[in-house]
Amino acid sequence: MYLRNVWYVAATSHDLGEALLTRTILELPVLLYRKENGDPVAIGNLCPHRFAPLHMGKRNGDSVQCGYHGMVFGESGKCVLNPHHGGVISPAMKVPAYPVIEKYGMIWIWTGEADRADPALIPDYSCYTAPGFRTLGGIMDVAAGMELITDNLLDLTHADFLHEGTLSSEAITLSKLETIEKGSAIWGNRWCPDGVAPPVWGQLMDSQMGVAPDTRIDHWLYMRWDAPAHLLLDVGICPVGKTREQGIWVYTGHHLTPVSPTRTLYFWTVVRDHAPQDPSVDAFWQGSIDYAFAVQDKPLIEAQQAAIGSADIDALHPVAIPADAAGGRARRALARLRAQGTKGECPVPGASPLAELLRQSAGSAAPVQPVV
Amino acid sequence: MYLRNVWYVAATSHDLGEALLTRTILELPVLLYRKENGDPVAIGNLCPHRFAPLHMGKRNGDSVQCGYHGMVFGESGKCVLNPHHGGVISPAMKVPAYPVIEKYGMIWIWTGEADRADPALIPDYSCYTAPGFRTLGGIMDVAAGMELITDNLLDLTHADFLHEGTLSSEAITLSKLETIEKGSAIWGNRWCPDGVAPPVWGQLMDSQMGVAPDTRIDHWLYMRWDAPAHLLLDVGICPVGKTREQGIWVYTGHHLTPVSPTRTLYFWTVVRDHAPQDPSVDAFWQGSIDYAFAVQDKPLIEAQQAAIGSADIDALHPVAIPADAAGGRARRALARLRAQGTKGECPVPGASPLAELLRQSAGSAAPVQPVV
Amino acid sequence: MYLRNVWYVAATSHDLGEALLTRTILELPVLLYRKENGDPVAIGNLCPHRFAPLHMGKRNGDSVQCGYHGMVFGESGKCVLNPHHGGVISPAMKVPAYPVIEKYGMIWIWTGEADRADPALIPDYSCYTAPGFRTLGGIMDVAAGMELITDNLLDLTHADFLHEGTLSSEAITLSKLETIEKGSAIWGNRWCPDGVAPPVWGQLMDSQMGVAPDTRIDHWLYMRWDAPAHLLLDVGICPVGKTREQGIWVYTGHHLTPVSPTRTLYFWTVVRDHAPQDPSVDAFWQGSIDYAFAVQDKPLIEAQQAAIGSADIDALHPVAIPADAAGGRARRALARLRAQGTKGECPVPGASPLAELLRQSAGSAAPVQPVV
């Protein structure tokens, strides 16, 4: 059911430290921590002796000691110390060890076949740590499957209805969706010319663009999806007919890590190149996106999940509209990957390095070129 | 399992306004609201596009706009506006529409075959809105199936044990139950002569009857049941050997609407012709009945349901006593209606108009004649 | 699944009084109370009429009156009064009656075949009420099956890791486990010579033994298990090479009563012969053991149960260590008893009377002789 030969985000770099952090990922109990040299470790969280959760134990150098009977497990998952009389360590005294990589300010985990855990399969999110950019973010524990959240992100026409006062825009609703599929990546792009700025964007027009908030703008939303559940939105506004450089824009990143079929850890980011050093702009974006995602999106998506229960939404025969095209493509792509089984399910990221794309698009004419 | 070709109470007239009200009725998600002209509307609460609950959206004139992607649904359940690019409305863009009638201060809903939704099948509760009467009431969300609540109401001998300090009366326990069955209605009547007034009634004897609280009284409880779960109790006291007109009495109405097999919305009323304009008598009855039902009945009925779980109580071989006769008849009547299937399950109310019955009984001799 | 022809602890003598006490024991709803002469009674808690829980009713002399319709049930479980019109009592008007015995300050219940409820099958806990001893205790409602708690008690090497600051001792971890099996009793004994006192014991060395807290000590832990889930630990310390009489020691008793396969009532005691009249020593032991069991053991055992869910732990192929030997023997003993079915499942207690054993061991040389 789950794709396993793929990278998921297990934690942010910021959230992972010396302390023992436990996560349920694809229903697996996982323990995460940093070694003394800072490298991240991910191993199974249940002691093989009596299944006590290791996060209830404690650090022992770069290893972890079970809090029940004291067996110590290292980063390889193998028992490295049995403190009991005799001290025998049998080969069965081990927990799983998961390949884990720290990149782009995120801790990426691989729960599939370890020898296929190729770091090159991590999609490009170099914008998170690119010079001149500022990255903020958050994490939400959502009582809904990753599919419903993916639908939400691949159909941004919900903005005008669900994001009143934040991201709402009639121009989005009236725009046409362009979908592109390349390898295992899918783009759902909207070019929304000559409209009114969404409220959040309107609040930045004076200070960041030097124009009045009621100035007519072009609005773009270019969403890239990489299987199984990594999304990057290039979104911004510029005065009608102007270029990206004369406007303001952000990337928002979205990484969906299944806890179970109906629960998801949702890591989000907002990345900008305007006023990257200004704490008041930090607070503005952190608060605006947190409100839009946690207060506006989350309750509705959870209500959807509660309404459909454990059913697959497609089995309930939903009515389709053209705006569903990108989400539908993503579902079909996942179905194809699942059908391949573990022989072929490693999806190849769809995009070239972001920084390169951004350089290419500099100075592009309207419609603003996507940079993802 | 559920009878559907019947009327249930979905809300009180008082509780339904412009705001979107959601109810789960017979496991169906229902949305209720009033149109601008005041007429009630009941439609399915889940948008057919992505199953977002419509009550999370907003009113749009006499229609409702989904809060996720903005489709608008009218009182017929059909989509009347698709705000998206192109604006195509397909025939599948619709939610169920349920026949709904406002009568007797209640909103009645029909979840079965719409063309059989005959308003004449609503049982007579004209007393709720009859001139000279005052009606109060409440609603309880009970964690028990409607059958256990019906049992409670059709066997009022529980009063002396469960309603200590409120409705308790040894005379009820010692009285004989008379059951009458007519069409799909069942009466469970008790005439309890020459006893002590139950505590609640005793508190009204001085002010409303002009006699001392320890005066011996005749007590009557005449309960009418109409399938599937509408009950009306004609209950009162008068000095021994006197008539209804020399006593005090009320109707209490009970409408049980299944949420699921083990959860019920319980609408209750108390209707009186004594001191109908006196707010202190309002407060007395509202508080007394609310206490008796919510504090005394509800926890015990919920404990019963918890004890039997999802089992049918009859499959557990309960010990029967004569007081169960009316409840047993009601269960058998429901079983017959269920066995008929949707061809014949519309039960015909059992009683003539209440106001007419009340007029007929005026001046009747003891035992006081029932007026339901 | 449950052994039924055995004695379980249903309550402490202290907790049982005139008030109606309800317990779920082996998934059975049980009502407990004392008669006016003080004798304990245990009957089924659900009225056979409509399955209302009897604990919501009230005492009626030595009987209990259902709070719903007033039927009265006596200690035999039979209905002794039907207050309704006619007052007929049918043979079916009864609830189960369970053999119950008060002994050693505990109320013991038998839910199996009543004619096999032999008081001689109650294991010996005479220390609880022996002259010169002081007994304290508590009860915990643990969200884990009795097997996981039994494992905890039969492998005390968890002390050094889970009981930091209370019962921790490296000497226990390094000690050898001696297991003895006799009839249906199993001993798991540890003799831990020449170590540092566990913190709780260290706090008593000055006042109760007259030696400095850093004096090297011998530590013993002799645990007796009687099927299905009664345990008694003889645990103490004495200066290296000295005898029990020159040290301090306690019994701790453990009685595990299944509520369900994954929930257990855990009755514990601590029994001492040192300073039996000193309230400050009462407070010390009550607080220390309560902390060790409720704050240190309980959360870990509950996390184990949550991790393994409804699975049998052995089906998950846990890694075994020598310290598991006693627990493994107990599991096999239970399996044998279950395999016998109800013909033979009555386990015979394994020990001679405790007081006698204690007298025998008086003056024994190190290693200190067990007295259970």
Tokens of C344: 């033979």
**Is the pLDDT confidence value at C199 over 70?**
yes
Domain boundary among C64, C86, C119: C119
CA-based nearest residue in chain B for residue A158? B69
The answer to whether residue C304 neighbours chain A at the CB level (below 8 Å) is yes
> How confident is the model over B231-243, as a mean pLDDT?
93
- Using pLDDT thresholds of 50, 70 and 90, give the confidence band for residue A20: very high
Q: Poorest-confidence range of A108-112, A268-272, A302-306, A321-325?
A: A321-325
Tokens of C165: 């600051």
| Closest of C144, C162, C288 to residue C229, by C-alpha | C144
Q: pLDDT value at position B185?
A: 87
The answer to whether residue A350 neighbours chain C at the CB level (below 8 Å) is no
Regarding predicted confidence, which is higher, C176 or C102? C102
Q: What are phi and psi of C341, to 5 degrees?
A: 70, -170
CB contact under 8 A, C161 and A67: yes
Q: pLDDT value at position B366?
A: 43
Q: Min CA distance, A323 vs chain B (Å)?
A: 8
Q: Which DSSP letter does residue C184 get?
A: T
Across the interface, of A68, A90, A92, the residue whose CB is closest to C161 is: A68
List Cβ neighbours of A291 (8 Å cut-off, separation of 6 or more): A166
Binding partners of C (≥3 Cβ pairs within 8 A): A, B
- C90 and C177 within one domain: no
| Closest of C229, C153, C220, C221 to residue C185, by C-alpha | C229
CB contact under 8 A, C70 and B304: no
**Is the pLDDT confidence value at B184 over 90?**
no
CB A25 within 8 A of CB A111: yes
Total tally of structural domains belonging to chain A:
2
- Chain A environment of B52 (Cβ under 8 Å): 300, 303-304, 307
**Measured between alpha carbons, how far is C341 from C319 in angstroms, rounded to an integer?**
30
How far apart, in Å, are the Cα atoms of A152 and each of A157, A185, A192, A201, A293? 9, 17, 18, 20, 11
- C194 and C208 within one domain: yes
CB contact under 8 A, C84 and B157: yes
Half-sphere exposure of C173 (CA within 13 A, CB side): 22
How far apart, in Å, are the Cα atoms of C298 and each of B151, C264, C323? 43, 11, 20
Q: Which DSSP letter does residue C97 get?
A: B
Greatest mean pLDDT among A84-93, A143-152, B333-342: A143-152
Tokens of C172: 């226990």
Residue A369 lies in a domain: no
The answer to whether residue A151 neighbours chain B at the CB level (below 8 Å) is yes
CB contact under 8 A, A29 and C322: no
The dihedral formed by the CA atoms of A193, A199, A202 and A203, expressed in degrees to the nearest 10 = -160
Residue B147 lies in a domain: yes
- Using pLDDT thresholds of 50, 70 and 90, give the confidence band for residue A363: very low
Residue C372 lies in a domain: no
Q: Min CA distance, C47 vs chain B (Å)?
A: 9
- A142 and A66 within one domain: no
Percent of chain C scoring above 90 in pLDDT:
84
Q: Min CA distance, A132 vs chain C (Å)?
A: 45
> How confident is the model over C315-342, as a mean pLDDT?
93
Phi-psi region of B77 (alpha: psi -120 to 50; beta: other; left: phi over 0): left
The dihedral formed by the CA atoms of B95, B96, B97 and B99, expressed in degrees to the nearest 10 = -170
CB contact under 8 A, B319 and C29: no
Q: pLDDT value at position B354?
A: 52
Q: pLDDT value at position C343?
A: 81
**Is the pLDDT confidence value at C358 over 50?**
no
The CATH number of the domain where C22 resides is what?
Answer: 2.102.10.10
Q: Min CA distance, B93 vs chain A (Å)?
A: 6
**Is the pLDDT confidence value at C366 over 60?**
no
Neighbours of A194 (CB within 10 A): 11
> How confident is the model over B335-356, as a mean pLDDT?
76
**Measured between alpha carbons, how far is A204 from B267 in angstroms, rounded to an integer?**
52
The answer to whether residue C51 neighbours chain B at the CB level (below 8 Å) is yes
Domain boundary among A88, A118, A148: A118
> How confident is the model over C354-368, as a mean pLDDT?
46
**Is the pLDDT confidence value at C143 over 80?**
yes
**Is the pLDDT confidence value at A356 over 70?**
no
The CATH number of the domain where A141 resides is what?
Answer: 3.90.380.10
**Measured between alpha carbons, how far is B7 from A135 in angstroms, rounded to an integer?**
58
DSSP code per residue over B39-63: -EEEEESB-TTT--BGGGSEEETTE
Residue C99 lies in a domain: yes
Taking the CA atoms of A58, A60, A66 and A69 in sequence, report the sign of the dihedral they define: negative
Q: pLDDT value at position C367?
A: 63
Digit-coded pLDDT (tens) for B191-216: 999 999 999 999 999 999 999 999 99
Across the interface, of A53, A69, A93, the residue whose CB is closest to C323 is: A69
Q: Mean pLDDT score of chain A, rounded to an integer?
A: 92
Q: pLDDT value at position C114?
A: 96
The answer to whether residue B295 neighbours chain C at the CB level (below 8 Å) is no
Residue B61 buriedness (CB in 10 A; 0-12 / 13-18 / 19+): exposed
Q: pLDDT value at position B367?
A: 62
Residue C368 lies in a domain: no
CA-based nearest residue in chain C for residue A83? C173
Taking the CA atoms of B350, B354, B357 and B358 in sequence, report the sign of the dihedral they define: positive
- Chain A environment of C160 (Cβ under 8 Å): 70, 83
Across the interface, of A46, A52, A86, the residue whose CB is closest to C322 is: A86
Residue B144 lies in a domain: yes
- Chain B environment of C50 (Cβ under 8 Å): 148, 151, 304, 313, 318
Q: Min CA distance, A44 vs chain C (Å)?
A: 12
**Measured between alpha carbons, how far is B242 from B246 in angstroms, rounded to an integer?**
6
> How confident is the model over B237-262, as a mean pLDDT?
94
- Chain A environment of B66 (Cβ under 8 Å): 161
What's the gap between Cα B114 and its chain centre? 22
- Chain B environment of A162 (Cβ under 8 Å): 67-68
Please list, residue by residue across C129-150, b when 16 or more beta carbons sit within 10 angstroms of its beta carbon and e when fewer do: ebeebbbbbeebebbbbbbbbb
**Is the pLDDT confidence value at B363 over 60?**
no
Residue A222 buriedness (CB in 10 A; 0-12 / 13-18 / 19+): buried
Percent of chain A scoring above 70 in pLDDT:
94
Tokens of B316: 């557990």
**Is the pLDDT confidence value at A120 over 70?**
yes
**Is the pLDDT confidence value at C351 over 80?**
no
**Measured between alpha carbons, how far is A72 from A59 in angstroms, rounded to an integer?**
9
Residue C1 lies in a domain: no
**Measured between alpha carbons, how far is B166 from B168 in angstroms, rounded to an integer?**
6
Digit-coded pLDDT (tens) for A188-234: 889 999 999 999 999 999 999 999 999 999 999 999 999 999 999 99
Bridge partners of C254, per DSSP, are C231, C268
Digit-coded pLDDT (tens) for B65-116: 999 999 999 999 999 999 998 899 999 999 999 999 999 999 999 999 999 9
List Cβ neighbours of A99 (8 Å cut-off, separation of 6 or more): A42, A109, A110, A114, A117
| Closest of C184, C124, C178, C101 to residue C356, by C-alpha | C124
**Measured between alpha carbons, how far is A310 from A4 in angstroms, rounded to an integer?**
21
- B89 and B168 within one domain: no
The answer to whether residue C295 neighbours chain A at the CB level (below 8 Å) is no
Q: pLDDT value at position A57?
A: 98
The answer to whether residue C157 neighbours chain A at the CB level (below 8 Å) is yes
| Closest of B123, B90, B172 to residue B6, by C-alpha | B123
- B179 and B293 within one domain: yes
Q: Min CA distance, C198 vs chain A (Å)?
A: 16
Neighbours of C78 (CB within 10 A): 16
Tokens of C98: 């369970």
Q: pLDDT value at position B364?
A: 38
- Chain A environment of B51 (Cβ under 8 Å): 304, 307-308, 313, 316, 318
CB contact under 8 A, B84 and A323: yes
Q: Which DSSP letter does residue B299 get?
A: H
- A215 and A318 within one domain: yes
- Chain A environment of C175 (Cβ under 8 Å): 85
- Chain A environment of C307 (Cβ under 8 Å): 29, 46, 51-53
> How confident is the model over C14-43, as a mean pLDDT?
97
The dihedral formed by the CA atoms of C14, C17, C23 and C26, expressed in degrees to the nearest 10 = 70
- Chain A environment of B54 (Cβ under 8 Å): none
- Chain B environment of A303 (Cβ under 8 Å): 52-53, 56
| Closest of C260, C262, C265 to residue C310, by C-alpha | C262
Helix (H) or strand (E) holding A48: none
Tokens of C317: 């192929």
Bridge partners of A237, per DSSP, are A219, A248
- A60 and A187 within one domain: no
The dihedral formed by the CA atoms of B51, B55, B59 and B60, expressed in degrees to the nearest 10 = 0
Determine the structural domain holding residue A107 and report its residue range.
7-118
Task: Compute the count of residue pairs across chains A and C with CB atoms less than 8 Å apart.
Answer: 72
C 175-234 → B contacts, CB under 8 A: none
The answer to whether residue A155 neighbours chain B at the CB level (below 8 Å) is yes
Taking the CA atoms of C78, C80, C84 and C86 in sequence, report the sign of the dihedral they define: positive
**Measured between alpha carbons, how far is B347 from B229 in angstroms, rounded to an integer?**
11
Taking the CA atoms of A307, A313, A318 and A324 in sequence, report the sign of the dihedral they define: positive
- Using pLDDT thresholds of 50, 70 and 90, give the confidence band for residue B347: confident
What's the gap between Cα C178 and its chain centre? 22
Across the interface, of B46, B56, B83, the residue whose CB is closest to A300 is: B56
Binding partners of B (≥3 Cβ pairs within 8 A): A, C
The answer to whether residue A78 neighbours chain C at the CB level (below 8 Å) is no
| Closest of C48, A324, A50 to residue B50, by C-alpha | A324
Q: pLDDT value at position A243?
A: 87
CB C202 within 8 A of CB C168: no
**Measured between alpha carbons, how far is C138 from C291 in angstroms, rounded to an integer?**
11
The answer to whether residue B325 neighbours chain C at the CB level (below 8 Å) is no
Q: pLDDT value at position A372?
A: 61
- A287 and A184 within one domain: yes
Residue B372 lies in a domain: no
Residue with tokens 């905890």: C152
Domain boundary among C119, C142, C162: C119
- B262 and B132 within one domain: yes
**Measured between alpha carbons, how far is C4 from A13 in angstroms, rounded to an integer?**
54
User: Is A98 strand, coil or helix?
Assistant: coil
Tell me the whole-structure pTM to 2 decimals.
0.92
- A342 and A194 within one domain: yes
Residue with tokens 């002789």: C369
- Using pLDDT thresholds of 50, 70 and 90, give the confidence band for residue A146: very high
Q: Min CA distance, B201 vs chain C (Å)?
A: 21
Q: pLDDT value at position A64?
A: 98
Q: pLDDT value at position C360?
A: 45
Across the interface, of C51, C53, C70, the residue whose CB is closest to B318 is: C51
Residue B317 buriedness (CB in 10 A; 0-12 / 13-18 / 19+): exposed
Helix axes A146-154, A298-308, angle to 10 degrees: 130
CB A60 within 8 A of CB A71: no
The answer to whether residue C158 neighbours chain A at the CB level (below 8 Å) is yes
CB contact under 8 A, A84 and C318: no
- Using pLDDT thresholds of 50, 70 and 90, give the confidence band for residue C371: low
Q: Which residues in chain B belong to E strands, given as ranges?
A: 7-12, 21-25, 28-34, 40-44, 58-60, 63-65, 72-73, 79-81, 100-103, 106-110, 134-142, 177-182, 185-195, 217-226, 230-239, 248-260, 263-272
- C51 and C77 within one domain: yes
**Measured between alpha carbons, how far is A151 from A321 in angstroms, rounded to an integer?**
12
Residue B212 buriedness (CB in 10 A; 0-12 / 13-18 / 19+): exposed
Q: pLDDT value at position C245?
A: 87
- C163 and C73 within one domain: no
| Closest of C226, C282, C284, C220 to residue C254, by C-alpha | C226
> How confident is the model over B360-370, as a mean pLDDT?
50
| Closest of C200, C201, C202, C222 to residue C212, by C-alpha | C202
